[in-house]
Structure 1
Amino acid sequence: MNTTGLVGVPDFVCSEFAGKQSEYCLLIPIINEGGRIAAELARAKAAQISNMVDIIICDGGSTDGSTEKEKLIEYGVNTLLVKTGPGKQGAQLRMGFYFALERGYQGVLTIDGNNKDSIEDVPRFIEKLKQGYDLVQGSRFVKGGAAINTPLSRTLAVKLLHAPVISLTAGQRFTDTTNAYRAYSRCYLTHPELQPLRDVFSGYELLAYLSVRATQLGLRACEVPVTRAYPSEGKVPTKISPLKGNVALLKVLFKNAVGAYHPSNSQKG
């Protein structure tokens, strides 16, 4: 599949290793995650996650061999999507959301591919979707969650800035708003006043927007406990640069707070 010409969906190439097996899918956006995505998928296989959701890799154009099809099939991956069009994380997610909605999934989960998150907690998200929630946010800061080796700067940024602004914008308290470990109902993703498939969502804009729009639309949102563990030593696995990346995140945060990404206000897509 190549989506040339579809507005709001980046061009991509699709390799389906199996058909639709579940009512839910798990999107994992990656780019050159190397051994980290391999370790995450190995954990998923051990926890039999592929029996609960269809695992879909949303690759941004990896060149490190981490998306070799034989390896992915061995780990139980259902589909590999490789983005060939422009954009970063937001574009990878749009690619995944488009594919998931076209396939008819009733719920879509997302998780980072750097092996920091407890992929074993997928059942918690599915349970909440089945209970009728439209946005399920994973949180290491609620009872039952765990924040392991989180850099102090990250903890302070989330608790003192990001979470309060998102919570105020959403009209509901959230505690771990930078965490991409989430679930969305089909009802939410297809709501006419959401419209996630727009080119304005290139980088981190889409995650911020999805954090607040559900409750603004009168849909149900909740948090579930998860574990997020950073390495005890070595480089922190992240795609956000210390200065430029964080400045960009702040801009997105406050544009989101004033409704800049609402369909009626966005001039793109």
Structure 2
Amino acid sequence: MKYEHLSGVPDFCATEYLPRRSDYALCIPIINEGDRIKRELDRAQRAGIDKIVDVIICDGGSTDGSTADDLLSAAGVNTLLVKIGAGKQGAQLRMGLWWALQRGYRGVITIDGNDKDSIESIPLFIEKLREGYDFIQGSRFLKGGEAVNTPPIRYGAVRLLHAPLISLTAGQWFTDTTNAFRAYSRRYLEHPEVQPFRDVFQAYELLAYLSVRASQLGMKACEVPVRRVYPPKGKTPTKISFFKGNSDLLRTLFKNLFGAYRP
């Protein structure tokens, strides 16, 4: 089914393989992740993750065959959303979050689709959502977490720049703020002072904004330990280019610090 002209949500098509079966949705934004998303979904099935959350693929327009209906339905995916409107990661997330709220989920977990994260850790996020937390950030740097083969420049950027800036903006200390493995309560996403469905959130802006807004509003936020593994050699799986991508990211962090994304 095609969804068009929704306020603050890109046009998209939805293919439902299964009805809603869980209280929680797992949204995975991808674009041309190839074998990486296949491995991640296989790990999720082996861990029984598709039995405790509804897996929603939020595709940005993949052309590599990784989103074929037979592959996804066999891998335990509940729904495929394909963005046909403008925008990048932020637009994909808005699409997924809107779908999750319309379907009535109590909370939404997000994770990258490049097979770097411990998708087996999903129960930790569900536990915190059930305890009443509104924003839960996955962290490889907490006790019980693991940072494997993290490139030194990325380690330094997260620990010395990104985490301090996000923590300053939020008014609460977070340790692994570039990590998209996190969860949001329905109460947080529907709060009138949050309003995530706005076209200003095209790329990385929405992740940065949702990292801080819960704490700013006095809502409950915490971290849980997760594992993040980079390949021991070869190209690092990322959609952020070294120069333009990182300069845009830094600009977003400072705009966020000064309240540019508040409604």
**RMSD, matched Cα:** 0.5
Say if 1:43 and 1:120, in contact at 8 Å, map to a contact too. Answer: yes
Say if 1:111 and 1:181, in contact at 8 Å, map to a contact too. Answer: yes
Q: Match of 2:114?
A: 114
What secondary structure does 2:191 align onto? coil
Alpha-carbon shift at residue 121 of structure 1 (Å):
0.2
Q: How does 1:209-248 map to 2 (within 5 A)?
A: 209-248=209-248
Say if 1:34 and 1:66, in contact at 8 Å, map to a contact too. Answer: yes
Q: How does 1:1-269 map to 2 (within 5 A)?
A: 1-263=1-263
Say if 1:3 and 1:9, in contact at 8 Å, map to a contact too. Answer: no
Alpha-carbon shift at residue 115 of structure 1 (Å):
0.2
Deviation by residue 1:36-56 (Cα, 9 ceiling, x = unmatched)? 000000000100101110000
Deviation by residue 1:30-88 (Cα, 9 ceiling, x = unmatched)? 00000000000000010010111000000000000000010111110000000000000
Mapped partners of 1:17, 1:6: distance in 2: 23
Deviation by residue 1:5-25 (Cα, 9 ceiling, x = unmatched)? 112100000000000000000
- Could you list the runs of 4 or more consecutive aligned residues of structure 1 that deviate by over 3 angstroms after TM superposition? none
What secondary structure does 1:224 align onto? strand
Q: Which runs of 5+ in 2 are unaligned?
A: none
Q: Which amino acid aligns with 1:76?
A: G
- Percent of matched pairs sharing the same residue: 68
Alpha-carbon shift at residue 233 of structure 1 (Å):
1.1
Mapped partners of 1:225, 1:114: distance in 2: 19
What secondary structure does 2:144 align onto? coil
Mapped partners of 2:235, 2:213: distance in 1: 34
Q: Which amino acid aligns with 1:14?
A: A
Say if 1:138 and 1:226, in contact at 8 Å, map to a contact too. Answer: yes
TM-score when scaled to structure 2?
A: 0.99
Mapped partners of 1:177, 1:61: distance in 2: 26
What secondary structure does 2:3 align onto? coil
Alpha-carbon shift at residue 4 of structure 1 (Å):
1.3
What secondary structure does 2:94 align onto? helix
Alpha-carbon shift at residue 2 of structure 1 (Å):
2.2
Q: Which amino acid aligns with 1:128?
A: K
Q: Which runs of 5+ in 1 are unaligned?
A: 264-269
Q: Which amino acid aligns with 1:26?
A: L
What secondary structure does 2:2 align onto? coil
Alpha-carbon shift at residue 218 of structure 1 (Å):
0.9
Q: Match of 1:267?
A: none
Mapped partners of 1:215, 1:77: distance in 2: 32
Say if 1:9 and 1:94, in contact at 8 Å, map to a contact too. Answer: yes
Q: Match of 1:266?
A: none
Mapped partners of 1:187, 1:135: distance in 2: 10
Number of equivalences: 263
Deviation by residue 1:106-161 (Cα, 9 ceiling, x = unmatched)? 00000000000000000000000000000000000010000000000000000000
Q: Which amino acid aligns with 2:260?
A: A
Mapped partners of 2:208, 2:2: distance in 1: 28
What secondary structure does 1:212 align onto? helix
Deviation by residue 1:151-191 (Cα, 9 ceiling, x = unmatched)? 00000000000000110110100000000000000000000
What secondary structure does 1:166 align onto? helix
Q: Which amino acid aligns with 2:234?
A: G
Q: Which amino acid aligns with 1:29?
A: P
